[in-house]
Amino acid sequence: MVTIGVTGHVHLSEASEQLIFDAVLEATRYFASERPHGITCLARGADQIFARAMVALGGTFEVVLPARDYRRRIITAEERQNFDLLMEQASRVRVMHARRSGRPAYVAASRYMLNRSTVLFAVWDGQPTKGPGDTAHVVSLAEERGLPVKVLWPAGAGRR
């Protein structure tokens, strides 16, 4: 079974969301001939779009939360309803050992996700890394492992 991991930008323009959703659907159909299975840290933006696409395709996804305080500290009050709905739809939830969210926790969660993935979808505009745990850094970690990476950045996509 193919397990699709995801990394991607958090702050996407509103116009990008449908473009990225459609790109994830198309790429998933290419890589997963059966019911797709994904793994995500469920961050806002690309990760949550990916989770919704897995559900739309009749697939499943598991969540890797970077730290015990992730929902309380990182997910805003306005975002919690959507976040909680996706958490309820997850086939499995793993909470990493970190107590506090931050770059070290994001790197650990990303490494765990990469270890369980057979391909990585990167919703990425190609910009260089700004620090550990960001999209470009996770792509470089995947490439170091020899994990196939499919970059998804459709024409018209943008960041806020």
Q: pLDDT class for 32, splitting at 50, 70, 90?
A: confident
Q: What tens digit of pLDDT does each residue of 103-141 get?
A: 999 999 999 999 999 999 999 999 998 999 999 999 999
Q: What tens digit of pLDDT does each residue of 63-101 get?
A: 999 999 999 999 999 999 999 999 999 999 999 999 999
Q: Determine the pLDDT at residue 145.
A: 96
Interior angle at CA 14, CA 43 and CA 121, nearest 5: 45
Q: Are 59 and 35 in contact (CB under 8 A)?
A: yes
Collapse the DSSP code of 59 into the 3-class scheme (helix H, G, I; strand E, B; otherwise coil) and give the result: coil
Q: How many CB atoms lie within 10 A of CB 47?
A: 25
- Select 3-151's CATH number: 3.90.1330.10, 3.40.50.720, 3.90.1170.50, 3.40.50.450: 3.40.50.450
Angstrom distance (rounded) from CA 49 to CA 83:
11
